């Protein structure tokens, strides 16, 4: 459905939560190295619980390799350095939702990369620095999925 990308993630619990998020939403999780933890980390395993085998996870050696694999997809960079409200975007299946590392966010060179379709911001109260990485990814992927009528999900009607 959608592609969630964590660029150089550093906190294993956030990546574990993203593994679970990817499994529950039918999204693919992409991790761009270097990772700030070992994949056998107990915090990552605890946060991902038993969803590791149910999630589609790809690890890329660098940003260029990610862009090459996802060529033709729209890539949205989530950052606090734009006024573009993510809720005003019309998301399509296959879109890429790119998030930066804790605590710095995406580097300016990534946001400015030619592969980036648009930089987007999740609104929050003024003078606050940022949301948790896993929470930000959850907000974005569920909005994108909602816009697409939760395609592929269980029917609760």
Q: How many CB atoms lie within 10 A of CB 38?
A: 9
Establish if 156 belongs to a structural domain.
no
Residue 35 confidence (pLDDT) above 60: yes
The percentage of residues in the chain with a pLDDT greater than 70, rounded to a whole number, is: 89
Establish if 157 belongs to a structural domain.
no
- pLDDT tens per residue across span 38-82: 777 566 666 555 666 778 999 999 999 999 999 999 999 999 999
Establish if 155 belongs to a structural domain.
no
| 60 and 122 Cβ atoms separated by less than 8 Å | no
Establish if 132 belongs to a structural domain.
yes
Structure tokens at 39: 């994949």
Establish if 118 belongs to a structural domain.
yes
The pLDDT value recorded for residue 10 is 93
Establish if 152 belongs to a structural domain.
no
What mean pLDDT is reported for the chain? 91
Establish if 89 belongs to a structural domain.
yes
Establish if 96 belongs to a structural domain.
yes
Structure tokens at 56: 């589609």
pLDDT band of residue 105 (cuts 50, 70, 90) is very high
The pLDDT value recorded for residue 84 is 98
- Average pLDDT over every residue of 127-131: 85
Strand ranges (DSSP E) for the chain? Answer: 3-7, 28-32, 56-60, 75-78, 96-99, 118-120
Domain that holds residue 124: 3-147
- For 122-132, b/e burial (b = at least 16 CB within 10 A) is beeeeeeebbe
The pLDDT value recorded for residue 37 is 81
CATH of the domain at 97: 3.40.1280.10
Higher per-residue confidence, 55 vs 96: 96
Is 0.95 topped by the overall pTM? no
The pLDDT value recorded for residue 46 is 61
Question: How many domains, the chain?
Answer: 1
């Amino acid at each position: 459905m959608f592609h969630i990308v964590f660029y150089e993630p550093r906190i294993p619990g956030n990546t574990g939560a993203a593994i679970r998020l990817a499994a529950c939403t039918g999204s693919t999780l992409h991790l761009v190295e270097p990772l700030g933890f070992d994949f056998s980390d107990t915090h990552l395993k605890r946060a991902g619980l038993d969803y590791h085998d149910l999630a589609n996870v790809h690890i890329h050696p660098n940003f260029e390799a990610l862009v090459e694999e996802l060529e033709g997809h729209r890539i949205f960079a989530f950052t606090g350095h734009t006024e573009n409200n993510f809720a005003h975007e019309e998301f399509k299946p296959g879109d890429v939702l790119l998030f930066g590392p804790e605590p710095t966010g995406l580097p300016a060179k990534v946001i400015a990369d030619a592969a980036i379709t648009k930089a987007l911001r999740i609104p929050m109260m003024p003078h606050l620095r940022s949301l948790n990485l896993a929470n930000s990814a959850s907000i974005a992927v569920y909005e994108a999925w909602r816009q697409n009528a939760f395609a592929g999900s269980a029917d609760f009607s």
